[in-house]
Amino acid sequence: MDWCRYRFHSRWDLDAPPADVFAVLADGDRYPRWWPQVREARRIDGRTGTARFRSLIPYDLEVTVREARQDAAAGVLEIMFSGDLDGWARWTVTARDGGTRALFEQEVVARKPLLRRFALPGRPVFRLNHALMMRAGCRGLRAHLDAVRAGRSGAPPAPGGNPV
């Protein structure tokens, strides 16, 4: 088993229309506004950007992100990672009972030396760190969507944002 390889799944059930959820998830430039652990997102060009993450463990991860697929009709967003993490992530956004289900899937290999050095003993902590990051992201997205609906943040961005 490659102890540096991770596979993650999260399901977010949201009380907002799928088009609104997709639009927010497609706008990677704005993730730091609603997802506390996404510390920085910067655009390089129309399909590429960089991002810096930090969750419970006080250790930043930096990646270059490249858009692989953005299909609003299918509700699918896919990105490729390189840098401290190599791999991919996918959001699949579908309607559910008056709201939206956003399914997150990710497969990555840790490349950052400290993560590799502590891969075996640190694995449960790294997985917990990711779970806490995803929980905070879901809370942040719910609050952001509520603010948009209440007119406090303006309209959701149109699809076609940065892949970060």
**Can you tell me the distance from the alpha carbon of 66 to that of 147, in angstroms, rounded to the nearest whole number?**
29
Question: Looking at the predicted structure, is the pLDDT value of residue 22 above 80?
Answer: yes
Instruction: Let me know: does 69 contact 78? Beta carbons within 8 Å.
Output: yes
Q: What is the pLDDT of residues 78-111, one digit of tens each?
A: 999 999 999 999 999 999 999 999 999 999 999 9
Question: Looking at the predicted structure, is the pLDDT value of residue 157 above 70?
Answer: no
Confidence of residue 57 (pLDDT cuts 50, 70, 90): confident
- Structural domain boundaries of the chain? 5-149
pLDDT for the residue 31: 97
Task: Give the mean pLDDT of 110-119.
Answer: 92
pLDDT for the residue 42: 97
How many CB atoms are closer than 10 A to CB 162?
23
Task: Give the mean pLDDT of 49-65.
Answer: 94
Q: Which residue has the higher pLDDT, 59 or 76?
A: 76
pLDDT for the residue 107: 98
What CATH number should be reported for the domain whose range is 5-149?
Answer: 3.30.530.20
* Tokens standing for residue 86: 């190599």
Question: Looking at the predicted structure, is the pLDDT value of residue 154 above 80?
Answer: no
Task: Give the mean pLDDT of 134-142.
Answer: 98
pLDDT for the residue 117: 93
pLDDT for the residue 160: 46
